[in-house]
Structure 1
C-alpha cells in the first residue's frame, strides 16, 4: 500500500498561520538563495535508532513536513540485489519468507544467505517485520518510491496560495552494504550493477514529482532571457534585482549569470514547489553518471554554501555570523545558499539544553544562515516525539516577537477600536516586531537605494495611516525587512543612532520603536507591505480569509499551534527578558529572535 502524508493530529492547528504566512509573503520577492529556512537530516530525525520501519517512516516524515521543515537532507542507498534505492544502509535480501511457529506465537522470518540465516521480529509500533541486519533493523519495503509518495500526497494537500511553500531536497547517494557483512563498508558498484535509465534517481523523481520540480534547465532558460521569464510576470512576483547581477546585450535582452527566482515566481507564476540537488556521493558509486539526461537535479552542492559557525553552550555565536557592520554591499555578504554546518545536540534532555539549541537556531537565522539539524533530538525520533523538532523549526521564524502579531482588543467597527493592525520594530525586544495602533506616531524604517542591507531613519514621526512617498528622505523608501539578515542590519543601524532619534532604553513606546511598512489594515489576518492602502491578495471577501486560513491550514497540517506545547518556551522567553545572562549574543552584540 502506498504511503501518505499522515502527521499526528496534535500538530494540525492554525494558530501559527498568520506568522508563517506573513513571513513567507514579506520574503516572497527575495531570490530564494537568500531566504533562510530550516534544514534537517531525515536519517537523524527518523532513523536515529537505526530502525528503518515503513510505518514509522511515514509518520516521521509527515510530522516533519507538518511542523514546517523546508529542506531535507536524504540518504539513499543503491541495492544491487533489489535494484532499488532504499533508505536502509543494508540491502535486505530477496526471497524472505515468514514462518509462523504457532497461532499463539509472534511470526518470525528467515532468509537464507551465503553465510547463514537472517531473522526478523515485529516492530513495536506496527505489525511489520524488521529484519536484523548487523546493527540495523530494516523493513524490506521502504524505498525511494515510498518517500516520494509521502511528498506527493503532501504537495497535493497543500495546493493553495495560502499554504504553499517551496521545499528543497539534498540527496546523498550511497551503496547499500551486503547483508552478510552489514557492518562492513559496501563494495564498489561495477558498471553492470549500476542503475539502468529507469532506475536512476533523476528518472524516478521526474516520473513521480516532475510537475512540481524547478530544475537546472528551468533556471538556465530563465536566466538567459529575463525579459520573457522573471520580468514577464506580475510585478509582485518579480525577484529583487539588487540581489544579483544583471547584464544586457545590444538587443536589450537582459540576463543574469548568478540570479535566482523569487519564491513567489516559483510557487505562483511557474507553479513549481521543489528544488533538488545532489549532496554527497559515495566513492563506491564513482561510475554513476549524475548528469545523464538529468533535467531535475542540480549538481552536488549547487544549492548549498556551508558556513562554519562556532557557538557557545548557551547558543550564542562566537564566529560565522554574516552580519558585517563595516559592509552593507550585497556582493560582500556571502549569504547565497548559506547553511550552518551543524547544530550540536546534547545527549540528555534538559530545560537549559533545549533553550540553548533554540537560541542557536534564532541566532543563525538572524545571521543569514539556514540552520541544519543533523542529530537525533534527545534520542527521540520525530515519529515518537515531534515536539522538540517543532520547537526548532519554529525558532527559525525571524520577524515577530512571541505572541505577535496580536489581535485587536476591541470591536473594529467601533470608533474607539484599538486598531493594532500596523507593525513596529521594537528595540526593547531586540529588533523583533510587534503590533501597534496605526494612529500612533513613530519614525520609520527607510531603505536606501533599494539596497537590502542599507537603512536610514525618517526625519519625522508620523501616524502609519498618514504614510506616503514623502515620509522618507530622498533616495530612500519606506520599507520593511524581508529576511532575518536584513532585519539584523536595520536593528544594528538603529542602535548606532543618537538616543535623541531612537532610544532602546526608553520606556516610552513612541521612542523605542519604529514603523516598518507592514500592516493588516485591509484584512485582519493578512499582513501586507505597500502602505496603508495595500490590499490583501488572497480574497476579495475579507470576512472569509481568517476562516479559510484556519480551514486550509488544519487540513494541510503545515501550521502549528505551539502555545500549549511550548509552555516551557514561554517561561524561557520571560526569563531571557529578565536575565541578561540568558540574552543571545552574536559576535559580541545582543539579539533575541522568535519563537524560542
Structure 2
C-alpha cells in the first residue's frame, strides 16, 4: 500500500497560517529565485536516529509538509541488488540468511548469529522487518517512490488558493553500501548495474509527480518569448521585471536569459506546484547519465547558489550577508537561489545554546536574503516522534511580522477603533518588523523609488493610510511594501540612516519609529493585500473555501497558542532578549536587531 499524506492531527490547524499566507502573497510576484524559503534535510529530520522505518518516514515527511517546510534535501541510494532507489544507505540483503529477533534484542539472543548472517526485527508500526545493517535499522520496503507518494497525496489534499505553496526537491544520489560491510563506503557501480528506463530517477519522478512539476523545458520556452508567457497572464501573476535581464528583438518580442517566473505565475497560471533539481551525485555513480531521458529535473545545483557565511556562537553573521548599503543594483547583489546549505554547530554548546544558535542563524540568514537549511535532528528526536520543535523553529523563517503579529485587536482595545485596526506599519522599535495599526492615524509612508527593489525614500509628511496611498510619496516613487526579507532589510537600514528628527526607534513618538507600508486587511479581516485601501481579498470567490472568514479568523486566533508554545520551547534561548526590548547583533559591520526566535 502506498504511503499517504498523514500528519499528526494537531498540526493541521496551523496556528500561524495567516503569517505564512500573507508572506506568500506579498512575495507572490517576486521571481522565485529571489524568495527565501524554509529548507530542511530529510536525513536529519526523519532519519537522524539511523532508523529507516517505512511508516515512520511517511509520518515524518507528512509532519514537515504540514508545518510549512518548503524545500527538501533528499538522499536516495541506488541498490543494484534490489534494482531500486532506496532511502537506507545500505542495500537490504537478498541472499544472506536472516535471523528474526524480538525488538531490542539482548546480546544473549544474538550471540549465536553466524558471520555473514543478518538479524532483523519486526517493525511495530507495520508488518515489515527492520534489518540490522551495521549502525542502521532499515525497512525493506522504503524507497524513493514512497516519498513521492506522500508528496502526490499532499498536492491532491491541498488544492485551494489558501493553502497552495511551491515545494522544491533537491535529490542527492548515492550508491548503497554492501550489507556485509555497512560501515564502509559503497563500491563503484558498474555501468551494467546502473538504473535504466523506468528505474531512472527522472522516470520515477515524472511518473509520480509529472503533472505538478514546473520543468526545465517549460522554463526555457517561457524565457524565449515573455510576450506569450509571463506577460500574457493577469497582472497579479506577472513577475517583477526589475529582478531579471530583458532582451528585445526588432519585432518587439522580449526574452530573458536569466529570469524566473513568480510563485503566483507557477501556481495559478501554469498550475504547477513543484520544482526538482539534482543536488549531488556520488562518484560511485560516475557513469550515470543524468541527462538521458530527463525532462522534469533541473541539472546539478540549478536551484542552488551556495553562499559562504561565517557565524558567531550566538548565530549572528560575521560575514556573508547579502545586504550592502553601497550596492542596490540587483545584478550586483548575488541573491539568486542564495542558500547556506550547512554551518556546523560550534563546539561545547548545550542543547539550549545549540537551538538558540540555529534559530538566530535562520533569522539572520533570512533577513540577509539567504535560505538556510536545517541539518540537525532537533533534541535528538525525529519529526515523526516529536514535530513540535520543527514546527516552532519555522517561526524563525518568518521575515515580515513581529512576534505575535498580525494582531486582530489593538493593544488598547476600543470597539470603535477595532474595525480600523487593519493596516500594517514597519515598527523600528521592533527591529524593522511589522505590526497592525489603526488605518486612520497619521504616519510617514515607505516609498519605493522607480519600482527598484532596494531603493527607498520616506514621505515628507505624515498621512493616514488612505492618503499615503494616494498622494504622500514624492515624484518618481510610490507607496509600497517590502516583498522579501532582503527588501525589508534595505528599507529598515535606509530608515535608520535618516536624521533622528525624522526617525528614532527609541522615541515614544510613533511618528518617529513607525511608518506605513502598503499592506492592509480592510476588506476581510486577516486577509492581507497590497494595492491600497480599496483592494479586495483574492479568496472571496474561491469555491474550495467555505466560511473563509471563519477559517481565516480561527487561524489567526490560534497564533497566541503557537507563540506560547514557541516561547516555552525557547525560554532559555530567549533569556537575554527578554532583558531588553532591543537586542543588537553585528552583521558585516552594521548592527541588526533580529526578530525573537
For Structure 1 versus Structure 2, the TM-score category normalised by the shorter chain is over 0.9
Q: Which residue in 1 is equivalent to 2:495?
A: 494
Structure 2 counterpart SS, 1:171: strand
Deviations 1:4-34 (A, max 9, x none): 1111223222321111100000000000000
Alignment pair present for 1:525 and 2:526: yes
CA distance in 1, matches of 2:230, 2:494: 32
CA 1:410–1:455 in 2, change beyond 3 Å: closer, same or farther? closer
Q: Which residue in 2 is equivalent to 1:380?
A: 381
Deviations 1:552-586 (A, max 9, x none): 999xx9x9962342132675668515338954432
Q: Which residue in 2 is equivalent to 1:305?
A: 305
Structure 2 counterpart SS, 1:444: strand
What's the offset of the Cα at 1:123?
4.1
Q: Which residue in 2 is equivalent to 1:287?
A: 287
What's the offset of the Cα at 1:288?
0.7
Unmatched runs of 5 consecutive residues or more in structure 2: none
Match 2:550 to one of 524, 547, 550: 547
What's the offset of the Cα at 1:414?
6.2
Alignment pair present for 1:251 and 2:248: no
Q: Is this contact kept in 2: 1:14–1:561, CA < 8 A?
A: no
Deviations 1:399-421 (A, max 9, x none): 00011001035999965545210
Q: Which residue in 1 is equivalent to 2:364?
A: 363
What's the offset of the Cα at 1:97?
8.5
Q: Which residue in 2 is equivalent to 1:119?
A: 119
Q: Which residue in 2 is equivalent to 1:512?
A: 513
Structure 1 counterpart SS, 2:547: helix
What's the offset of the Cα at 1:471?
1.4
CA 1:434–1:444 in 2, change beyond 3 Å: closer, same or farther? same
Structure 1 counterpart SS, 2:434: strand
CA 1:577–1:533 in 2, change beyond 3 Å: closer, same or farther? farther
Deviations 1:229-269 (A, max 9, x none): 00000100000000000001111110000000000000011
Deviations 1:363-394 (A, max 9, x none): 00000000111222232111122222222222
CA distance in 1, matches of 2:100, 2:37: 49
CA distance in 2, matches of 1:97, 1:9: 41
CA distance in 2, matches of 1:388, 1:543: 31
CA 1:11–1:348 in 2, change beyond 3 Å: closer, same or farther? farther
Deviations 1:202-226 (A, max 9, x none): 1111111000000100100000000
Q: Which residue in 2 is equivalent to 1:457?
A: 458
Q: Is this contact kept in 2: 1:424–1:514, CA < 8 A?
A: yes
Q: TM-score, normalised by structure 1?
A: 0.92
Q: Number of matched residues? A: 587
Q: Which residue in 2 is equivalent to 1:537?
A: 538
CA 1:68–1:39 in 2, change beyond 3 Å: closer, same or farther? same
Q: Which residue in 2 is equivalent to 1:155?
A: 155
Q: Is this contact kept in 1: 2:389–2:569, CA < 8 A?
A: no
Alignment of 1:324-343 (within 5 A): 324-343=324-343
Q: Which residue in 1 is equivalent to 2:180?
A: 180
Q: Is this contact kept in 2: 1:152–1:209, CA < 8 A?
A: yes
Q: Is this contact kept in 2: 1:70–1:166, CA < 8 A?
A: yes
Q: Which residue in 2 is equivalent to 1:137?
A: 137
Alignment of 1:208-247 (within 5 A): 208-247=208-247
Alignment of 1:92-131 (within 5 A): 92-94=92-94, 116-123=116-123, 128-131=128-131
Q: Which residue in 2 is equivalent to 1:9?
A: 9
Q: Is this contact kept in 1: 2:97–2:118, CA < 8 A?
A: no
Structure 2 counterpart SS, 1:515: strand
CA distance in 1, matches of 2:273, 2:28: 13
Q: Is this contact kept in 2: 1:28–1:262, CA < 8 A?
A: yes
Once the two structures are overlaid, the 10-residue window that deviates more, 488-497 or 345-354, is: 345-354
Deviations 1:284-317 (A, max 9, x none): 1111110112110000000000011111111111
CA 1:51–1:101 in 2, change beyond 3 Å: closer, same or farther? closer
CA distance in 1, matches of 2:94, 2:435: 59
Structure 2 counterpart SS, 1:526: coil
Q: Which residue in 2 is equivalent to 1:68?
A: 68
Q: Which residue in 2 is equivalent to 1:263?
A: 263
CA distance in 2, matches of 1:48, 1:82: 24
Q: TM-score, normalised by structure 2?
A: 0.92
Alignment of 1:388-467 (within 5 A): 388-409=389-410, 415-417=416-418, 419-467=420-468
What's the offset of the Cα at 1:548?
3.9
Structure 2 counterpart SS, 1:510: helix
CA distance in 1, matches of 2:374, 2:101: 43
Q: Is this contact kept in 2: 1:408–1:420, CA < 8 A?
A: yes
Structure 2 counterpart SS, 1:433: strand
CA 1:176–1:397 in 2, change beyond 3 Å: closer, same or farther? same
CA distance in 1, matches of 2:178, 2:521: 59
User: What root-mean-square deviation, in Å, do the aligned CA atoms of Structure 1 and Structure 2 show?
Assistant: 2.9
Deviations 1:50-82 (A, max 9, x none): 111111111111111111110011111011011
CA distance in 1, matches of 2:158, 2:169: 18
Once the two structures are overlaid, the 10-residue window that deviates more, 353-362 or 526-535, is: 353-362
